[in-house]
Structure 1
Amino acid sequence: MSQRFSPQVDAFARALKSCALARDLSKGKKLHSQILASPHSYDRYLGNLLVDMYGKCGCLENARSTFDAIVDPNVYSWNLILGAYIQCGGFADVAGCFDSMPKRDVVSWNAILAAYTANGHLQDAIRVFEGMPQRDVVSWNSLLNLYGQNGDAVLAKSMYDSMPERDIISMNAMGQAYAQAGHYNSAKDAFDRMPHHSVVSWNAMIKVYTMAGDTTMALQAFNDMKQRDVLSWTALLSAYALAGHLEESRSLFEKMPQRDLVSWNAIAQAHALGGQVERATRIFSDMPDRDAISWTAIIQAYGRTGSPDRSKHYFDSMPRKDILSWVALLQAYSQAGVLDTASRLFELMPVKDGAAHNAMLQAYANTGNLEDTRRIFHAMPQRDIVAWNLVIQAYSQSGSAPGAQMVHEKMPAWDVVSWTCTMATHAQYGRFQDAKGMFEEMPERNIVSWTAMIHAYVQAGNVHQARAMFDDLQGKDSISWNTMIQSCAANGQWESVLELSHLMVLDGHRPNELTFVGILTGCSHVGMLEESRSHFLAMQDAYGLAPIVDHYCCMVDILGRAKQLKEAEELIDTMPCIPYPVVWTILLGACRIHGDVVRAARAADMAVAMDASQEESAPYILMSSVYAEAGRKAMSLARSREKEAS
């Protein structure tokens, strides 16, 4: 009987596998010490299991030193250390390990392919795939998945048709590729053509409906399942969460027969996305276990509310940080406009992958900072399609439609986002014919493309054509509904606003904050005070939506037009957050129209106090108009009295 199959080796092996599964690094280290003190310290089988355990526990240094101590590492040993680098290291380390392997098998090639695929490195993944001496269905599925993630349904379908063999994973991946590209009907057709539907297939279909924003069909798919697992419940939970249906999310979570870490993460993210950050924090505190996704979600939640310092508090408390948590913190500061801190974080990151570079690109692109956007872009070791799209966005934000077009033409490949972003830039800056031409040239379109073209018609003043295109649009999402509602509102089409709001609910889409911005804007344009009050209360009582600054701006404007200046000022005073200067400036404008000098002076002072950069600017200019108008009225009144006296 060899050492490998001795009772002691078997006991060590079972204990190491258990540690790897539980990610129990402390116990794993103790086992390692016991093995070193035993007659089996040079056993390759145990050495391989130790490398695997350290890799899964995220301890790359120990994994590497253990691997180096293996006397005669075999290809399995090399695959395990490669896996450890993929789990813990940067791409340079992963590639270096792969290149130094004396012998590789299909598992080695699939591992490096999966590493590039998981991080969206399309060109590297293609290079590896084409260089593989042999491929199996896992290899084909990896690249098929990557095409799907990039929303390239055309290339995904071409690869799918070329596959020498397919399995249920291939079929699911093709369905996901259609969904990612916005071709939800094709995704459903792919599902219907499957010879049999596994739990995985049904779960994937629920995710398709989730991406389409169709919670009704997601629920129907869930109810049609003959068998469910915890992922099925979690997929439906995510559908409700992303649609903003918090009550349904909570109810489903309570009904779940079992919950795993993914379920807990989903319910926490549901509250975070719904703006209930404190509730999300309580759920985070109650979680029986947490992983990097849990920590990253709470970092992102505070980032979305403009509280980057709270994000940093949780980041600093993380037991083990990964690249995603670094990127989440960077985004928290960039979204809050604290670009200096975001830039410092970027420089401090231990590993900078494509996601990190793209996050920094996004920060600069959002502000139209072309110089820094180009600097980061040209410094990137590899550029994916997301990076190219962000440069287009930077040109768009800086007001350069020709620049966006130039970048579009230089791109090595395009996706639907590239086309849509460039098209929207042309429309935004009054180049409607260029926008229409790009829309007609697009090789494929998704719901975002159609919505952007509808908005282009609105910007060109052709609301009638926009509505016709909208009515023909299949698979409308909440963004397309809100785009049309706000377009009609801005053009004073109050009856269309009400009609569309009603149809939106009937189509299964819950009104959100933007919907009510459109409704209140419509009320403002036609001076419907009582209706605006009713909708302002309904959004809170019926839909559980907390008013945002835009809602208060609409209400102050409506009250101001109706000469209800005292009520408008009282509404500003009840705002849960510090009023933006624009709210006071709207009140100031209403005071000018109605000649309320005292309240106007107060509004001007508050507008300037809220934003020191406004001094000698809009509020004071408006205030001078108030005084001038009041002076003219006083002079006119005096003259009238003189005439009466004479």
Structure 2
Amino acid sequence: MRRTDASSSVRLIRRLCIEGKLSEALPVLEDIISRQKCPISASVFLDVLRGCFRKKDLEAGRRVKFLIIKCGFESDLLLGNHLIRLFSAGGNLSEALQQFRNLPKKDEYAWNTIISAHVKHKKGRQAIELYHEMVLSTVEPDVFTYAVVLKACASIASLGQGRVIHFHILSRGLEHDPLVGNTLVDMYCKCGRLVEARQVFSNLPKRDIVSWNAMIVGCVQHKNDVEAFQLYEQMQDEGMKPDTVTYMFMLKACGNMGALDQGRLIHINLTKSGLGKDRFAGSNLIDMYVKCGSLDEARQVFQNIPNRDIFVWTSMIAGCAEHGLGEEAFHLFQGMLSEGLKPDKIIFVSVLKAFSSIKALDWGKLIHAHILEKKLESDIYVASALVGMYARCGSIDNAHKVFLKLPQRDIVVWNTMIAGFVQQERGQDALNLFERMQKEGMKPDNFTFSSIFKACGSILALDQGKFIHKQLEESSFGFDLIVGNSLLDMYVKCGSIDEARKVFLSLHNRDVVTWTSMIGGFAQVGGHAQEAFVFFKKMQEEGFKPNKVTFLCALKACSSVSTLSYGKLIHAQLIDNGFEADSVIGNALVHMYAKCGSIDEARQVFLKLPKRDVISWNAMIDGCAQQGYGKEALHLFEGMRQNGVVPNEATFVSVFAACSHTGLVSEGYSLFRYMHKNLGITPDMNHYACMVDLLGRAGKLSEAHSFILKMPVQPTVVVWMSLLGACRTHCNLELGKLSFASILKLDPSNAAAHSLMSNMYDLLADQTVTQSQIVR
């Protein structure tokens, strides 16, 4: 082949590479080399490698590498560096590293390229190891090397290595280089060392926008928003104009702090700077206004963005989700679809969150259909949101179906499913799932343990709770306050107050929830009311302010032991804390005073209630009934009906008790019929027992027995015990024996029944002796 033809072939190869026609250039190059038509220079290979790099074509690069070796250029440093660059850019880090190792000689570019490639591929630790290898070689790191390896330290938050490299930089006098200085600031910020970052920042002879942004971004990411604002003002005082990055992170700082006024000022400055027109700025503005609680201003920003992209829609939909506006979120979702935008998984998660907050199950199902259409149901992130939506909307079986279809499950979706079972009061299902997750190799975390202790408490599974408690203690990570509170509450619900106390004492940090659970436990378990008062006092001595639930638990303790003096002290504190007008607290006060026998004070609280609901009336009626004020209880019942409050099952238990104490048999019968026929309340065993007690107290024992036999449900021990008690009072041995026999069929070891029967025989024996003495 003539030299002119060979030259034209080389020019053709170069032209094809420039035009991006790599697939046409390579055969020409291979043909020239295979036929040995002309010698190929390294510069030709360089042009072809650049073409491979532009297309990220690794296969073509491998073909070129083979030709380079064939032509004897394997030791060429420039070609070797370009091969490293190509393989790392194409995602094959191992091949890039192999190419690097094969270089007989390495320069700064080769080291920087391979270190940079490891950082890009999130191999920070390996990048740092390569840096130390470079330091031991004959090649000195340059400013680019330091910048890259500091990024590696930042990526894995390796403060120790960062400080070592900082020392190397100081020893070479490069700390004032802008690139190195800015990267040092960023490294210290990423490692959470804002003080050291500030020192480097302050020592920079000249600070550019990158320096300021690195410092501001670091402060915002570590929730030091006040310092971010100080830096923001300082940079402007020094004549440095904020850029898009500055404004975006300052908006995040405003959102973090809920600083609406400052956010508005930054919005104004952003608009004036001309940087506020893009969609990225719009989505950040929406996010800031949402977090500051101003959804109207978020809507205004949203409406003013001309070409809304997926990020803008996501921000607005997420904002609605944050504020529980499920309907608006759904309409936005439809609007987004009508504009031709395709929802991504973040959109789906936001919409599902919104529907969860308002329990919009039907809309959730519609979104599920879209998710199936997009084949995203197996995505962990989306699936967790779906499971959570179904669980919170009460459709736990649908949640479980989604869960079971997942090819892989992370800890979040396991926790979501377990928590869903707990929320729907399916504690045993939660425990079964907890066991299964461990069999499948998934380790529980604090959230899992918190949920599972709630499950144990809900079904009174004390033994399982103790076993899981032991499992938690043997785990490596220990437990936090939330788990501690859940564990304590589990023991309280299971009635194991001593175990609850041990957990309480083991907690180094306690909050109001901890103290309240313990006080509630003492109030719930018989014989511990005095300890409830001691803890209530100690809690306040240690600086904890009781909340509404704490006060309710303390009042319950007063009611259980009829301790009026403590009740009055708590009442005074309630007034001081502004709780007196609360209807739930008011009802508890009425109940407490009534239980303590102070009907007058119960009445005073009752009359002061801003709104009296069925619970308020029931507390007052029950108090009067229990304290023997039967007629007043019935008078209150009439007042309740006149005030338009509909009685419930509990009301009639108290009313029947009032009739029983006052011997108003006909009134009791009349109310029993009224309850069933007029209000549609199906009598339960408590109502039947009350009616038997009413008849028995009035001495109508045969009628009481007949009432039992006519009951549409099988009488329980409680019903028969009411009759047996009346038989003992009226010395009716025949009916007493019948009642006693019925009780023994249901509960052969009932000690109370045996005691009553024995007392009846003793009483009849005494009466017989007395009568014989009279006859004599």
Q: Taking structure 1 as the reference length, what is the TM-score of the superposition?
A: 0.54
Q: Which amino acid aligns with 2:567?
A: A
* Residues 319-334 of structure 1 mapped to structure 2, 5 A cutoff: 323-324=446-447, 326-334=449-457
Residue in structure 1 matched with residue 509 of structure 2 by the alignment: 382
* Residues 166-185 of structure 1 mapped to structure 2, 5 A cutoff: 167-171=289-293
Note the C-alpha offset of 1:407: 2.1
Residue in structure 2 matched with residue 140 of structure 1 by the alignment: 257
Residue in structure 2 matched with residue 565 of structure 1 by the alignment: 704
Which of these residues, 538, 545, 554, is aligned with residue 414 of structure 1? 545
CA contact (8 A) 1:106 1:134 kept: no
Q: Which amino acid aligns with 1:438?
A: I
Distance 1:413-1:302 versus aligned 2 partners, 3 A rule:
closer
CA contact (8 A) 1:454 1:470 kept: yes
Note the C-alpha offset of 1:345: 1.9
Residue in structure 2 matched with residue 264 of structure 1 by the alignment: 390
* Residues 271-282 of structure 1 mapped to structure 2, 5 A cutoff: none
CA contact (8 A) 1:455 1:466 kept: yes
Kindly name which structure, 1 or 2, has the bigger radius of gyration based on alpha carbons.
2
Q: Which amino acid aligns with 2:534?
A: G
User: RMSD value over aligned CA atoms?
Assistant: 5.5
1:400 is aligned to 2:539: no
* Residues 231-242 of structure 1 mapped to structure 2, 5 A cutoff: 235=357, 237=359
Which of these residues, 97, 109, 114, is aligned with residue 222 of structure 2? 109
Which of these residues, 446, 457, 463, is aligned with residue 593 of structure 2? 457
C-alpha distance in 1 between matches for 2:689 and 2:52? 78
C-alpha distance in 2 between matches for 1:535 and 1:285? 44
CA contact (8 A) 2:450 2:482 kept: yes
The Cα offsets for residues 68-119 of structure 1, whole Å up to 9 and x where unpaired, read as: xx9954757669xxxxxxxxxxxxxxxxxx997567934543499xxxxxxx
Say which structure, 1 or 2, has more relative contact order (CA 8 Å, 6+ apart). Answer: 1
Q: Which amino acid aligns with 1:414?
A: K
Distance 1:331-1:611 versus aligned 2 partners, 3 A rule:
farther
1:352 is aligned to 2:479: yes
C-alpha distance in 1 between matches for 2:358 and 2:519? 35
C-alpha distance in 1 between matches for 2:766 and 2:758? 12
The Cα offsets for residues 439-476 of structure 1, whole Å up to 9 and x where unpaired, read as: 22332314443333222322343334423423432355
Q: Which amino acid aligns with 2:635?
A: E
Residue in structure 2 matched with residue 574 of structure 1 by the alignment: 713
Residue in structure 2 matched with residue 627 of structure 1 by the alignment: 761
Q: Which amino acid aligns with 2:419?
A: T
Q: Which amino acid aligns with 1:435?
A: G
C-alpha distance in 2 between matches for 1:560 and 1:99? 79
1:413 partner SS: coil
C-alpha distance in 2 between matches for 1:266 and 1:322? 21
Q: Which amino acid aligns with 2:466?
A: S
Distance 1:427-1:622 versus aligned 2 partners, 3 A rule:
closer
1:533 is aligned to 2:672: yes
1:496 is aligned to 2:623: no
Residue in structure 2 matched with residue 437 of structure 1 by the alignment: 569
CA contact (8 A) 1:330 1:342 kept: yes
Identity, in percent, stands at 18
Distance 1:337-1:552 versus aligned 2 partners, 3 A rule:
farther
Note the C-alpha offset of 1:621: 1.3
CA contact (8 A) 2:558 2:564 kept: yes
* Residues 596-615 of structure 1 mapped to structure 2, 5 A cutoff: 597=733, 600-601=736-737, 603-604=739-740, 607=743
The Cα offsets for residues 390-425 of structure 1, whole Å up to 9 and x where unpaired, read as: 233344440216523442343322132444544553
The Cα offsets for residues 557-614 of structure 1, whole Å up to 9 and x where unpaired, read as: 34645534335544788259xx4x54443232134345554553454456567667x6
Q: Which amino acid aligns with 2:557?
A: T
Residue in structure 2 matched with residue 339 of structure 1 by the alignment: 462
C-alpha distance in 2 between matches for 1:530 and 1:329? 47
C-alpha distance in 1 between matches for 2:55 and 2:255? 35
Q: Taking structure 2 as the reference length, what is the TM-score of the superposition?
A: 0.46
Q: Which amino acid aligns with 2:222?
A: W
Structure 1 stretch displaced more, 286-295 or 391-400: 286-295
Which of these residues, 584, 587, 591, is aligned with residue 723 of structure 2? 587
Structure 1 stretch displaced more, 362-371 or 389-398: 362-371
C-alpha distance in 1 between matches for 2:51 and 2:611? 64
1:313 is aligned to 2:420: no
* Residues 189-208 of structure 1 mapped to structure 2, 5 A cutoff: 199=320, 203=324
Note the C-alpha offset of 1:385: 1.4
Distance 1:99-1:287 versus aligned 2 partners, 3 A rule:
closer
CA contact (8 A) 1:368 1:395 kept: no
Q: How many residues align?
A: 452
Distance 1:287-1:474 versus aligned 2 partners, 3 A rule:
farther
CA contact (8 A) 1:520 1:554 kept: yes
Distance 1:234-1:365 versus aligned 2 partners, 3 A rule:
closer
Q: Which amino acid aligns with 2:482?
A: A
Q: Which amino acid aligns with 1:312?
A: L
C-alpha distance in 2 between matches for 1:106 and 1:423? 47
Distance 1:420-1:315 versus aligned 2 partners, 3 A rule:
same
The Cα offsets for residues 339-363 of structure 1, whole Å up to 9 and x where unpaired, read as: 3432222222355332332233224
CA contact (8 A) 1:366 1:393 kept: no
CA contact (8 A) 2:428 2:459 kept: no
CA contact (8 A) 2:500 2:518 kept: yes
1:474 partner SS: coil
Can you give the 5+ residue segments of structure 1 that lack an aligned partner in the other structure? Answer: 10-33, 49-69, 80-97, 113-132, 143-164, 174-197, 207-227, 238-251, 269-279
CA contact (8 A) 1:588 1:622 kept: yes
Can you give the 5+ residue segments of structure 2 that lack an aligned partner in the other structure? Answer: 1-49, 59-89, 98-116, 124-148, 159-188, 195-216, 226-249, 260-286, 296-318, 328-349, 369-385, 406-412
2:578 partner SS: coil
CA contact (8 A) 1:482 1:514 kept: yes
Which of these residues, 486, 497, 501, is aligned with residue 622 of structure 2? 486
2:479 partner SS: coil
1:105 partner SS: helix
CA contact (8 A) 1:367 1:394 kept: no
Note the C-alpha offset of 1:496: 1.3
The Cα offsets for residues 310-358 of structure 1, whole Å up to 9 and x where unpaired, read as: 6533544568666455444434444555534322222223553323322
1:360 partner SS: helix
Residue in structure 2 matched with residue 618 of structure 1 by the alignment: 752
C-alpha distance in 1 between matches for 2:538 and 2:644? 37
